[in-house]
Chain A
């Protein structure tokens, strides 16, 4: 029996949520790396999709439908940490922006106005995503004795994410921090996150064009030359929604 056989044997249990929490995490981590298991699990989930409808419907109490609609449409941000996270991210962005402006001032003659406008427009765009974000996901990352983290701001209006990787050392030589989407059909390579003089790495990403619902995101350290479709380097963060 190979180690992979355990995952094959437990695909049904993973879909049923019958694994122990520790096993479930182990399986989820495996899915990030295993295209076959990711595909099989997604197919099983899809095939069994109607199964919960074996349970009889329950009539909502009077007024519940209205309350639900109100609860969805009239909510304020539900995450207490959202405001501080946005403020922190905005402060970082402004600092980066000011740094960019300062550098540009030194060599203003060499820079076209359009470049500066583009930079500022990008900053404004990133800030708008953070301001509109209705979901903010944070994960701590520890690497080489440094503690940092990954923050994802999800803007449901434009269906884009603002991704911030902070507090980490530069990627090892000939390596990059690689951001991935986890979809029901496997991993989809997204952007490389590059640190500039220790400043946080920012990226704005749209949803992948590949078919399959986005189920999460991951960050790995990949060899710069590695442009394969699947991650092969160490996993720094793995988030499943």
Chain B
């Protein structure tokens, strides 16, 4: 079992179809395979233990993913937004390596003899392999290694084996399902699990990939129009920026049929506005983790329509749900002691299935004896199986033994007309151990006092939920994929 089979099948059945578009460069599936074979020869000759990529999106990303698979070594994309020191610490962990980069990032990499650096243009222009290359078939071989952005300490190296990724693809994507006119736009960086799964899913569906180096709303809209993009995946902040950019104007994307989103919590106001702005578009919420080879639950287009138009509160709230398990995995919610909870009972979310690796280099498998992986996300399931997430287990505020979820307090604060953004975190408290604190960004020219915001929460929730401290900020800290950095905010409250 090998993810190279995905490209072999696409090249076999749809060899002449364009598979990747990046700027003026276009590659058919047959050309993509030819390039991957060429790169595999170079990787083998380099005696590398890893194929690393330190670069923005380009055809080098899919070529490197498949070339590593043909060559039988793991693909390890590195985050090009890290500092020079952080990048070199990761390079040290993957040496000896064959490292693909571009002129923009090469100066960040310290010279060392056990890392062969290849510039992107040279990598895309390697000599054609003399013979076709047969990929290995060990299902336990590691296909991809991703460094997760750990909150403390060194980044963990999550490993995804060929069997995990193939289980995900074969279990959730129909081979060759895309029509010749279909194209998906890829804006997530190659070092994110969504960037990996975009390559594998699109190639297996034989849906043309339109790559963007960096996300910017106007460029995204232009690329969608120019390439007649039919499908898109966005993280919530990207969709919010597209929605803001459009204002009340028409989206003017007649080809766009489907938008999937994931990678963080989608604000209700954003998805509601997006549904109005793109009336003919199918929206899908995809929930997944690095350790689960991407998507494990989906809230599909029908669910979105039903919830958006529902008077029944139980159905309407599903717009804030991540949907149901895909069928390739099972979901369970447990309490702290491990007891499996019933519907509507909030606890810790566990997942099981062939695509779930749940494994880190050096730390080993995190699966329990029955194969369940603790996602460390909190949530509950409703009586029809829809999963609702309620933040990370690490973000729960424990006030005098009572577990308080930041999410419910944030939702209330967001209903205030002056509030543009909010993050609720724990702060040290002598009496309760932890107390509730809120960092709030007000809309420009809008005003609200600490007392009136506290009163708003007191009126909607129990008094224990009322933030004992509120600070007003001009912006909240986010990572480059739009996840709010609670750790940074927590540190500010601890320090003050």
**Do A and B originate from a single complex?**
no
Q: Which residues of B are in contact with A by a Cβ distance under 8 Å?
A: none
A residues adjacent to B (C-beta < 8 A)? none
